[in-house]
Amino acid sequence: MTDRFTILDAPDEFLSAPLRLTIDLGAIADNWRDMARRSGRARASAVLKADAYGLGIEDVGQTLYRAGARDFFVAVPAEGATLRPYAPEARIFVLSGIWPGQEETFFNNDLVPVIASEEQLAFWMAVLTERGPYPCAVHVDTGFNRLGLPLAAALELTDDVSQPTSFDPVLVMSHLACGDTPTSPMNKAQLEKFLMVSAAFEGVEASLSASAGIFLGSDYHFDLTRPGIALYGGEAVNGAKNPMREVVKAEARILQIRDAKAGESVSYGAAHVFSRDSRLAVASVGYADGYLRNLSGAGIPLRQTGILGASGVIAGRPVPVLGRVTMDLTIFDVTDLPDHAVRAGDYVELFGPAMQVDDVARAAGTIGYEMLTGLGLRYERLYLSSVD
């Protein structure tokens, strides 16, 4: 099978860039189709928060729209306005809801606010009284204690005769706190509460599950699922093999190969002292590029994962990070590579097919979501076309 990340005809600016990001739009489309299949009779939407998890809302949104997605979720109105031209007939839900001063952004771009608090609900009722009918979604808290109307308030809402007749939600939703842990009793507890909500909002579509919840089975699917991290190749369920296609490869150019003697140290704080003569590859990536300082090979006290630091991949072999990751530079240990296997100007894979993004994230004590959404602005991006 041909590696979709093997670039043979990329533009010169990509081939020579200090930082490169290859994004496989075909894999994103395939992952969405996979999640749509796993959603059974429910429709699968697509979550494009945070610039499509750092990969580009325009390209990813257009790809998923062409693949068949007709419901999208974004975090803030500006993201919805950016997406609208690329998903012209789709419903675009804004998870942060609506606040005074945002009305025209919603109306001009046909965005659907997700009413997420009693304050927003009161404001929205006033808007409807003045404007007339306009769709919304209602977020109900079933135990997460983040956004959402309290359960009792949501249930009372369905019997409130004082509300404007134009209040006509098109979706009621909640969010699982422990969907990534299938054995957690929290999942069943939230499901039972949401069944009450969906029954009260009779005739309104219901949505409970993001990526992890989809894997919990049909009881959690309702009418609409909301896959996010799974679309981008990330792990959705703790301790389970990830079935999604890899989407992203991040690479950094090696600026210099240098030698160090046993007993010498490397990087800030001299935290790593060499026990042997070593060869070092200095790469043009650092925490300004989302390659977290917590990935450092030494001198970072917070790590409690049992992992000594991250590794990159050069010539198909892992190369550990040495010393502290700095703002623009990271040092990798290439001592065990053959002398001819690496030279200045080559690239180290930071994550991708040979080094999974979630494995890199674990080395930093975090999750793949943070690695993707934290990608900096200095990566030259190459999009591999979606195959419809």
Which residue numbers are catalytic? 49, 268
Distance CA 228, CA 216 (A): 15
Distance CA 375, CA 358 (A): 14
Q: How many other CB atoms sit within 10 Å of the CB of residue 335?
A: 17
Distance CA 228, CA 219 (A): 19
Q: Is 361 left (phi over 0), alpha (psi -120 to 50) or beta?
A: alpha
Residue pair 237/212 in contact (Cβ under 8 Å)? The answer is yes
Nearest to 174 by CA among 188, 160, 193: 193
Residue pair 168/117 in contact (Cβ under 8 Å)? The answer is no
Q: How many other CB atoms sit within 10 Å of the CB of residue 218?
A: 12
Residue pair 257/280 in contact (Cβ under 8 Å)? The answer is yes
DSSP state of 263: T
Strand, coil or helix: 275 = coil
Nearest to 245 by CA among 80, 4, 63: 4
Tokens of 235: 């792990």
Nearest to 349 by CA among 22, 53, 1: 22
Residue pair 282/322 in contact (Cβ under 8 Å)? The answer is no
C-alpha distance from residue 222 to each of 41, 65, 75, 95, 218 (Å): 8, 22, 22, 19, 8
Strand, coil or helix: 181 = coil
Distance CA 212, CA 195 (A): 18
DSSP state of 146: S
Q: How far apart are the first and last CA of the chain?
A: 19
AA letter at 329? L
